[in-house]
Amino acid sequence: TGEFNNGAFNGKGTFQSKFGWKYEGDFVNGQAEGQGKLTTEQEVVYEGSFKQGVFQQKQ
């Protein structure tokens, strides 16, 4: 869910991968950016700040 502009996700949304992980939060140009929550296929949760798709820190 969320906005899809110019071939990439932008704004708030949810992405569910075919591998079982899910990201809920902010997207910029198709990457996790800002506040979000990543839940891995093993149910490990990373919640906090993301930059260019990489988890930065818990907030």
Predicted structure pTM score: 0.84
What is the pLDDT at residue 58?
Answer: 67
Domain ranges of the chain: 3-47
Q: Give yes or no for residue 59 having a pLDDT over 70.
A: no
**Section 24-46 average pLDDT:** 96
What's the pLDDT band for 1 if we cut at 50, 70, 90? low
| pLDDT above 80 (res 57) | no
pLDDT of residue 21: 97
Q: What's the burial of 36, exposed, middle or buried (CB within 10 Å: 0-12/13-18/19+)?
A: buried
